[in-house]
């Protein structure tokens, strides 16, 4: 080992005389570590911008639009060949407290109620300042998406698990692409280049610890780390990391939660790896709650990714019941938060069955034929047929459906406390539709610490100058459990905060 120790010192002597001593004089600024947490400042920059945004999902595009509008010369880098990341395959649901549609349908709501729901689901692990910002900005976000981007929402308000009231709006086309597409169009109009196939490998940091830019690989072909041409791009005002979560990164997610190994499937796109997060941590960013990784309880094991079977389950949770086929009985509030439901399904040890009747399936009318053709939803004439198909104890299952229907009529679930929608009907009119539920890795609640300006905070509690983060790469907003439709919201709220703050830096 002593031999190795000499290498660096000898190299220093050869190339720079008394450099080592000088480094000590300078207060130990020069690290002897091989861990190049940051790239050295280049002799010259290949390109210069005011703001560099990493990622083209909800947070990245929102950040870039607001940065540009605030006057910053802005560029967006995306490591994948196509833009949009998980956001574009997202189901297009966004939470809003006090939307126009809630008013229209007479649903009473408030930012405080949304906040309470988030903190309850989050088990109180939520950063109090950040979660309040998200809860208070939801109406702003919807208005902005309509006015600035022309996003259209359906004439309905969806009630998702863990929300006290129906408050989730759905884009007309039922996916996050309905936001990403106009956002990219807006960036084009604004003259903001969006470059795909560009991997940000490290940050460039100056002697004061300020992030001055990024080192990129242009022409990068995911996941080949050595592909592309290295360039140094300056970000005079700030780098905004909106690179998403690490749900698809089996090594890193299994480290944080050993239950989520390669045998657990995932709804994310393959680019949802931990690279960006790891570079932030290597730079000294504070990790927050990395081990809280959400599995979507609506996952349908009969197809890959999110799938249309998941949409059926999600819709069913509003109207129908879910049973454990081993007992024919319910086992959880079908509208509990995702953590509670996923844990309950995992605990049964096998695929569970969301069930809805011909009335309930109406909210899923867009997809039902496709889902049946794909075999991810099955149709039965009678409840007894369902029991036969899945070898369920018929008398128990029948009694369960009757009991559930009484709760629906009474508008009170005395067994599991599911909030019954006010116009909900008993499950009794055939044909009946049955989905399949087994959770899939879906969202990382944990990530790096940011402050209310979306600035990244280091391990000693100080702002890392010139560095911002927004969206799933950040941690602490959702605590132990992100509620459905709150990712879309959070990403846009903090994407915009980051864009404006960086532009004004």
Does 207 contact its own copies by CB under 8 A? yes
Among 111, 174, 287, 393, binds its own copies (CB under 8 A): 287
Question: Pattern 242-281, binding to its own copies, x per CB under 8 A?
Answer: ---------x---xxxxx------------------x--x
Does 417 contact its own copies by CB under 8 A? no
Quick one: 267 or 289, whose CB is closer to its own copies? 289
For the bound state, the minimum distance from the C-beta of residue 82 to its own copies, rounded and expressed in Å, comes to: 27
Site for its own copies, residues 209 to 248, rule: CB under 8 A? 209-210, 212, 236-237
Site for its own copies, residues 336 to 365, rule: CB under 8 A? none
Among 63, 135, 187, 290, binds its own copies (CB under 8 A): 290
Q: How far is CA 338 from the centre of its chain?
A: 13
Residue pair 499/55 in contact (Cβ under 8 Å)? The answer is: no
Give exposure, 114-129, as e/b (b: 16+ Cβ within 10 Å): bbebbbbbbeebbbee
Count of positions on this chain that bind its own copies (CB under 8 A): 77
Does 291 contact its own copies by CB under 8 A? yes
Quick one: 30 or 107, whose CB is closer to its own copies? 30
Quick one: 34 or 423, whose CB is closer to its own copies? 34
For the bound state, the minimum distance from the C-beta of residue 314 to its own copies, rounded and expressed in Å, comes to: 26
Site for its own copies, residues 433 to 472, rule: CB under 8 A? 446, 449, 458-461, 466
Q: What angle is formed at CA 424 by the lines to CA 420 and CA 429, rounded to 5 degrees? A: 130
Site for its own copies, residues 4 to 33, rule: CB under 8 A? 4-5, 7-9, 11, 15-24, 26, 28-33
Peptide bond into 26 cis (omega under 30): no
Give exposure, 474-491, as e/b (b: 16+ Cβ within 10 Å): bbbbbbbbbbbbbbbbbb
Among 63, 95, 125, 444, binds its own copies (CB under 8 A): 125
For the bound state, the minimum distance from the C-beta of residue 273 to its own copies, rounded and expressed in Å, comes to: 12
Give the pair of three-digit tokens for residue 388: 């036969």
Quick one: 245 or 320, whose CB is closer to its own copies? 245
For the bound state, the minimum distance from the C-beta of residue 38 to its own copies, rounded and expressed in Å, comes to: 4
* 3-state per-residue secondary structure call for 126-172: CCHHHHHHHHHCHHHHHHHHHHHHCCCECCCCECCCCCCCCCEEEEC
For the bound state, the minimum distance from the C-beta of residue 63 to its own copies, rounded and expressed in Å, comes to: 19
Quick one: 33 or 349, whose CB is closer to its own copies? 33
Instruction: Please report the sign of the dihedral spanned by the C-alpha atoms of residue 473, residue 479, residue 485, residue 486.
Output: negative
Chain position carrying tokens 């006010």: 422
Beta-strand relationship, 463-469 and 229-241: parallel
Residue pair 441/434 in contact (Cβ under 8 Å)? The answer is: no
CA atoms of 26 and 21, how far apart (whole Å): 9
Among 191, 208, 373, 414, binds its own copies (CB under 8 A): 208
167 in active site: no
Residue pair 103/156 in contact (Cβ under 8 Å)? The answer is: no
Active-site residue among 73, 234, 253, 338? 338
> Known catalytic residues?
338
């Amino acid at each position: 080992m002593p031999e190795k120790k000499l290498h660096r010192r000898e190299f220093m002597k050869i190339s720079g005389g008394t450099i080592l001593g000088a480094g000590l004089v300078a207060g130990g600024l020069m690290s002897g570590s091989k861990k190049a947490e940051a790239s050295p400042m280049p002799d010259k920059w290949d390109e210069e911008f005011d703001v560099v945004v990493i990622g083209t999902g909800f947070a990245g595009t929102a950040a870039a639009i607001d940065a540009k509008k605030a006057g910053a010369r802005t560029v967006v880098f995306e490591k994948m060949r196509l833009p949009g990341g998980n956001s574009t395959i997202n189901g297009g649901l966004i939470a809003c407290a006090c939307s126009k549609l809630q008013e229209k349908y007479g649903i009473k709501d408030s930012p405080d109620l949304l906040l309470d729901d988030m903190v309850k689901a989050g088990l109180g692990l939520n950063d109090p300042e950040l979660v309040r910002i998200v809860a208070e900005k939801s109406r702003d976000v919807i208005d902005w998406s309509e006015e600035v981007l022309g996003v259209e929402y359906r004439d309905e308000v969806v009630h998702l698990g863990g929300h006290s009231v129906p408050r989730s709006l759905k884009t007309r086309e039922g996916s996050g692409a309905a936001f990403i597409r106009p956002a990219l169009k807006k960036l084009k109009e604004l003259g903001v280049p969006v470059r795909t196939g560009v991997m940000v490998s490290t940050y460039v940091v100056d002697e004061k610890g300020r992030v001055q830019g990024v080192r990129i690989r242009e022409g990068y072909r995911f996941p080949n780390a050595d592909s592309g041409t290295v360039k140094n791009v300056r970000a005079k005002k700030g780098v905004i990391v909106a690179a998403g979560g690490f749900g698809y990164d089996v090594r890193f997610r299994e480290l944080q939660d050993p239950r989520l190994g390669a045998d657990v499937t995932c709804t994310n796109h393959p680019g949802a790896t931990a690279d960006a997060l790891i570079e932030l941590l290597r730079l000294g960013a504070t990790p927050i709650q990395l081990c809280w990784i959400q599995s979507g309880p609506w996952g349908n094991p009969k197809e890959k990714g999110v799938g249309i079977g998941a949409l059926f389950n999600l819709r069913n949770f509003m109207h129908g019941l879910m049973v454990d086929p081993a007992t024919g009985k319910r086992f959880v509030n079908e509208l509990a938060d995702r953590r509670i439901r996923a844990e309950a399904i995992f605990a049964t040890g096998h695929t569970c069955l969301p069930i809805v009747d011909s009335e309930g399936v109406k909210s899923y009318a867009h997809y039902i034929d496709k889902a049946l053709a794909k075999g991810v939803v099955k149709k039965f004439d009678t409840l007894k047929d369902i029991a036969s198909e899945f070898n369920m104890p018929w008398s128990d299952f029948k009694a369960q459906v009757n009991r559930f229907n009484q709760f629906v009529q009474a508008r009170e679930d005395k067994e599991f406390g599911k909030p019954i929608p006010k116009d909900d009907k008993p499950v009794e009119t055939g044909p009946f539709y049955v989905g399949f539920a087994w959770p899939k890795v879906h969202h990382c609640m944990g990530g790096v610490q940011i402050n209310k300006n979306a600035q990244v905070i280091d391990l000693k509690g100080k702002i890392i100058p010139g560095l911002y983060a927004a969206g799933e790469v950040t941690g602490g907003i959702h605590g132990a459990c992100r509620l459905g439709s709150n990712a879309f919201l959070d990403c846009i709220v903090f994407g915009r905060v980051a864009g404006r703050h960086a532009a004004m830096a």
